[in-house]
Structure 1
Amino acid sequence: MTNSAGFEEPTLQAAAQRPGVKWSRPDPGVIPAWIADMDFPIAPAIVEAVARRTALDVGYPSWLEDAGAGPLAEAFAERMELRYGWRPDPGHVRAYTDLNQALQVILHVATRPGDAVALHTPAYPPFLKTLADMERPALHIPFTRQGDSWAFDPDRLDAELAATGCRALLLVNPHNPTGRVLTRKELTVLAELAERHDLLVISDEIHSDLVHGHARHIPFATLLPERTITLTSATKAFNLGGIRCSVAHVGPSAVREALAAQPPHIFGAVSVLAVEATVAAWRHGEDWLTRVREILDANRRALAERLPAKVGYLVPEATYLAWLDFRETGLDEEPAEFLLRRARVMASPGPLFGPGGEGFARLGFATSRSILAEMLDRIDAAFTAR
Structure 2
Amino acid sequence: MNRPPAGPFETIDVERLRSGYGVKWGSLPPDTVGAWVADMDFGIPPAVQESILRTTRHADFGYPYWRGEDPVVEAFEERMLARHGWRPRRERTRVFSDLLQILQVVIEYATEPGDGVAIHVPAYPPFLASIVRAGRRIVPLPVTRDETGWQVPADGLTERLRAQRCRLLVVVNPHNPTGRVLTPAELLPLAAAAEELDLLVLADEIHADLVFAPHQHVPFASIATADARTVTATSATKAFNLAGLRCAVAHIGPDRLHDALNKAPLDFFGTPSILSRVATVAAWRRSDAWLADLSDTLVRNQRLIEEWAAALPWDLRYHSPEGTYLSWLDFSRSPIGGGSPAGHLERLARVKLSEGAEFSQHTEVDTAAFARLNFATSPANLAEILDRVATALK
> TM-score, structure 1 length as denominator?
0.95
Where does structure 1 differ by over 6 angstroms across 4 or more consecutive aligned residues? none
1:283-298 to 2 correspondences below 5 Å: 283-298=285-300
Residue aligning to 1:96: 96
Q: Residue in 2 aligned with 1:375?
A: 385
1:309 Cα deviation from its structure 2 partner: 3.9
1:330 is displaced (CA, Å) by 3.7
Q: 1:309 to 1:301 in 2, by over 3 A?
A: farther
Checking the alignment, whether the CA contact within 8 Å between 1:194 and 1:201 is kept in structure 2 is yes
Name the SS of the counterpart of 2:367 in structure 1: coil
Partner residue in 2 for 1:318 = 323
Query: What is the match of residue 276 of structure 1?
Result: 278
Matches within 5 A, 1:1-386: 4-6=6-8, 9-13=11-15, 15-56=17-58, 57-63=60-66, 70-223=70-223, 224-307=226-309, 308-310=312-314, 311-331=316-336, 332-354=338-360, 355-384=365-394
Q: Judging changes above 3 Å, is the alpha-carbon distance between structure 1 residues 361 and 104 closer, same or farther for their aligned structure 2 residues?
A: same
Maintained 8 Å contact 1:325/1:360: yes
SS in 1 for 2:86: coil
Q: % of aligned pairs identical? A: 47
Q: Which amino acid aligns with 2:371?
A: A
Give, in angstroms, the shift of residue 329 of structure 1: 1.1
Residue 5 and residue 83 in structure 1: after superposition, are their counterparts in 2 closer, same or farther (change >3 A)?
farther
In structure 2, the gaps of 5 or more residues are none
The Cα shift of 1:343 comes to: 0.7
Q: Cα offset for 1:345?
A: 0.5
The letter of the residue matching 1:274 is S
Larger displacement relative to structure 2 (273-282 or 301-310): 301-310
How many positions carry a matched residue from both structures? 381
CA contact (8 A) 1:143 1:150 kept: yes
Deviations 1:275-298 (A, max 9, x none): 000000000010000111111111
Q: What whole-Å deviation, never above 9, does each CA across 1:297-320 have from its counterpart, x for those lacking one?
A: 111111111133422321000001
Q: Within 2, Cα distance between the matches of 1:27 and 1:94?
A: 40
Q: Deviations over 1:186-239 (max 9, x none)?
A: 001111111111110000000000001211100001111101100000000000
TM-superposed deviation, 1:107: 1.2
Structure 2: distance between partners of 1:344 and 1:358: 20
Q: Which letter does structure 1 place at the counterpart of 2:132?
A: A
Q: Spell out, residue by residue over 1:62-120, the C-alpha distance to the aligned partner (whole angstroms, 9 max, x if none).
A: 149x9xx8211111000001001211124110011100011101111111111111110
Query: In 1, distance between residues paired with 2:157 and 2:9?
Result: 46
**Deviation at residue 121 of structure 1 after TM alignment:** 0.3
CA deviation after TM superposition for structure 1 residue 5, in Å: 4.2
Greater displacement, 47-56 / 28-37: 47-56
SS of residue in 1 equivalent to 2:80: helix
Unaligned runs of 5+ in 1: none
TM-score w.r.t. length of structure 2: 0.93
Determine if contact 2:9/2:294 at 8 Å carries over to the other structure: no
- 2:9, 2:297 within 8 Å by CA — same for their partners in 1? no
Q: Which amino acid aligns with 1:182?
A: L
Question: CA separation in 1, counterparts of 2:112 and 2:66?
Answer: 32
Contact 2:88/2:251 (<8 A) preserved:
yes
Counterpart residue type for residue 369 of structure 2: G
Contact 1:11 1:371 in 2 (8 A): no
* Cα pair distance change 1:256/1:240, threshold 3 Å: same
The alpha-carbon deviation at position 138 of structure 1 amounts to 0.9
- Residue type matched to 1:195 in 2? E
CA shift, 1:154, in A, is 1.2
RMSD: 1.8
3-state SS of paired residue (1:94): strand
